[in-house]
Amino acid sequence: MKKETKPKTASIQNRKAWHEYHIGDTFEAGLVLVGTEVKSIRLGKASLQESYCKFENGELWIQGMYVAPYEQGNRANVDPTRSRKLLLHNAELDKINKGLKEKGLTLVPLKLYFTRGFAKMNIGLAKGKKLWDKRDAIAERDIERDRRREESGKY
Protein backbone atom coordinates (compact mmCIF):
# COMPACT_ATOMS: atom_id res chain seq x y z
CA MET A 1 0.00 0.00 0.00
CA LYS A 2 1.47 3.33 -1.07
CA LYS A 3 1.61 6.06 1.53
CA GLU A 4 0.31 9.43 0.33
CA THR A 5 2.67 12.33 0.87
CA LYS A 6 1.69 15.93 1.17
CA PRO A 7 3.30 18.32 -1.29
CA LYS A 8 6.14 20.22 0.32
CA THR A 9 5.17 23.78 1.14
CA ALA A 10 7.40 26.38 -0.39
CA SER A 11 9.21 29.03 1.58
CA ILE A 12 9.43 32.36 -0.17
CA GLN A 13 12.66 34.29 0.37
CA ASN A 14 13.68 37.87 -0.28
CA ARG A 15 17.24 37.17 -1.42
CA LYS A 16 17.66 40.71 -2.67
CA ALA A 17 17.32 42.00 0.91
CA TRP A 18 20.61 40.35 1.92
CA HIS A 19 22.34 42.11 -0.97
CA GLU A 20 20.77 45.53 -0.41
CA TYR A 21 20.93 45.71 3.42
CA HIS A 22 23.04 44.89 6.47
CA ILE A 23 20.58 42.76 8.46
CA GLY A 24 20.66 43.22 12.24
CA ASP A 25 18.06 41.77 14.62
CA THR A 26 15.52 39.37 13.12
CA PHE A 27 12.05 38.56 14.37
CA GLU A 28 9.48 35.88 13.57
CA ALA A 29 6.00 37.31 13.06
CA GLY A 30 2.65 35.69 12.41
CA LEU A 31 0.73 36.80 9.36
CA VAL A 32 -3.02 37.53 9.09
CA LEU A 33 -4.29 36.00 5.84
CA VAL A 34 -7.82 35.72 4.48
CA GLY A 35 -9.61 33.51 2.00
CA THR A 36 -7.52 31.63 -0.51
CA GLU A 37 -4.25 33.47 0.21
CA VAL A 38 -3.03 30.53 2.31
CA LYS A 39 -3.45 28.07 -0.57
CA SER A 40 -1.70 30.40 -2.97
CA ILE A 41 1.27 30.89 -0.59
CA ARG A 42 1.52 27.13 0.01
CA LEU A 43 1.96 26.75 -3.75
CA GLY A 44 4.79 29.31 -3.63
CA LYS A 45 2.93 31.96 -5.58
CA ALA A 46 3.93 35.00 -3.57
CA SER A 47 6.70 37.59 -3.74
CA LEU A 48 8.44 39.69 -1.10
CA GLN A 49 10.58 41.69 -3.56
CA GLU A 50 8.71 45.00 -3.46
CA SER A 51 7.37 44.68 0.08
CA TYR A 52 8.18 46.68 3.19
CA CYS A 53 6.91 46.93 6.76
CA LYS A 54 5.53 49.96 8.56
CA PHE A 55 3.79 50.91 11.79
CA GLU A 56 0.22 52.22 11.73
CA ASN A 57 -1.63 52.95 14.98
CA GLY A 58 0.78 50.82 17.02
CA GLU A 59 0.37 47.79 14.74
CA LEU A 60 2.87 46.42 12.24
CA TRP A 61 1.73 45.98 8.63
CA ILE A 62 3.41 44.61 5.53
CA GLN A 63 2.78 46.65 2.40
CA GLY A 64 3.26 45.60 -1.22
CA MET A 65 3.63 41.85 -0.66
CA TYR A 66 2.24 40.12 -3.75
CA VAL A 67 0.13 36.98 -3.33
CA ALA A 68 -1.17 35.66 -6.64
CA PRO A 69 -4.92 34.99 -6.78
CA TYR A 70 -5.67 31.29 -6.25
CA GLU A 71 -6.48 29.68 -9.60
CA GLN A 72 -9.31 27.48 -8.29
CA GLY A 73 -10.65 30.37 -6.24
CA ASN A 74 -13.72 32.37 -7.09
CA ARG A 75 -14.82 35.83 -6.04
CA ALA A 76 -13.37 35.06 -2.60
CA ASN A 77 -9.94 36.02 -3.98
CA VAL A 78 -8.72 39.32 -2.52
CA ASP A 79 -6.50 42.13 -3.81
CA PRO A 80 -3.04 40.60 -4.48
CA THR A 81 -1.08 43.53 -2.99
CA ARG A 82 -3.31 44.45 -0.03
CA SER A 83 -1.81 45.35 3.35
CA ARG A 84 -1.49 42.43 5.76
CA LYS A 85 -1.13 42.62 9.52
CA LEU A 86 1.93 41.12 11.22
CA LEU A 87 1.47 39.56 14.66
CA LEU A 88 4.19 40.07 17.27
CA HIS A 89 4.41 40.33 21.07
CA ASN A 90 4.25 43.85 22.51
CA ALA A 91 7.86 43.64 23.74
CA GLU A 92 9.03 42.80 20.21
CA LEU A 93 6.95 45.63 18.75
CA ASP A 94 8.54 48.06 21.22
CA LYS A 95 12.04 46.83 20.34
CA ILE A 96 11.33 47.21 16.61
CA ASN A 97 9.82 50.67 17.11
CA LYS A 98 12.94 51.81 19.02
CA GLY A 99 15.15 50.41 16.26
CA LEU A 100 13.19 52.20 13.54
CA LYS A 101 13.64 55.52 15.31
CA GLU A 102 17.42 55.17 14.91
CA LYS A 103 18.76 56.92 11.84
CA GLY A 104 18.94 54.81 8.72
CA LEU A 105 17.23 51.64 9.99
CA THR A 106 14.31 50.05 8.21
CA LEU A 107 12.25 46.88 8.62
CA VAL A 108 12.65 44.40 5.77
CA PRO A 109 10.73 41.14 5.16
CA LEU A 110 13.21 38.29 4.69
CA LYS A 111 11.34 35.00 4.44
CA LEU A 112 7.76 33.68 4.35
CA TYR A 113 7.09 30.09 5.42
CA PHE A 114 4.71 27.78 7.31
CA THR A 115 5.30 26.37 10.80
CA ARG A 116 2.80 23.90 12.24
CA GLY A 117 0.19 25.14 9.77
CA PHE A 118 0.63 28.84 10.54
CA ALA A 119 2.03 31.38 8.11
CA LYS A 120 5.15 33.00 9.57
CA MET A 121 7.44 35.72 8.30
CA ASN A 122 11.01 36.54 9.25
CA ILE A 123 11.57 40.28 9.34
CA GLY A 124 14.82 42.07 10.08
CA LEU A 125 15.95 45.48 11.21
CA ALA A 126 18.28 46.54 8.42
CA LYS A 127 20.55 49.35 7.37
CA GLY A 128 21.02 50.08 3.68
CA LYS A 129 24.34 49.19 2.07
CA LYS A 130 26.33 51.66 0.04
CA LEU A 131 27.52 50.74 -3.44
CA TRP A 132 31.05 49.91 -2.27
CA ASP A 133 29.65 47.63 0.45
CA LYS A 134 27.82 45.66 -2.21
CA ARG A 135 31.00 45.37 -4.29
CA ASP A 136 32.95 44.18 -1.25
CA ALA A 137 30.31 41.54 -0.50
CA ILE A 138 30.44 40.25 -4.08
CA ALA A 139 34.27 40.11 -4.00
CA GLU A 140 34.25 38.21 -0.68
CA ARG A 141 31.70 35.75 -2.05
CA ASP A 142 33.84 35.14 -5.16
CA ILE A 143 36.98 34.58 -3.08
CA GLU A 144 35.15 32.12 -0.81
CA ARG A 145 33.77 30.21 -3.82
CA ASP A 146 37.25 29.96 -5.39
CA ARG A 147 38.73 28.77 -2.07
CA ARG A 148 36.09 26.02 -1.81
CA ARG A 149 36.75 24.93 -5.40
CA GLU A 150 40.47 24.63 -4.76
CA GLU A 151 39.90 22.59 -1.59
CA SER A 152 37.60 20.16 -3.36
CA GLY A 153 40.02 19.74 -6.28
CA LYS A 154 37.50 20.70 -8.96
CA TYR A 155 39.38 23.81 -10.05
Write down all domains in the chain, each with its CATH number in brackets.
12-130 (2.40.280.10)
Residue 24 has pLDDT above 70, yes or no: yes
Q: Mean pLDDT check: name the lowest of 17-21, 27-31, 62-66, 92-96.
A: 17-21
**8 Å CB contact between 86 and 31:** yes
Q: What is the pLDDT of residues 84-104, one digit of tens each?
A: 999 999 999 999 888 888 777
Q: pLDDT confidence of 69, banded at 50, 70, 90?
A: confident
Q: Alpha carbon 45 to chain centroid distance? A: 13
Q: Please report, rounded to a whole number, the percentage of residues in the chain having pLDDT higher than 90.
A: 21
**In whole angstroms, what is the distance from residue 53 CA to residue 64 CA?**
9
What pLDDT score was predicted for residue 28? 94
Count helices and strands in the chain by DSSP H and E runs = 4, 9
Amino acid 109: pLDDT: 92
How much is the average pLDDT of 136-148? 87
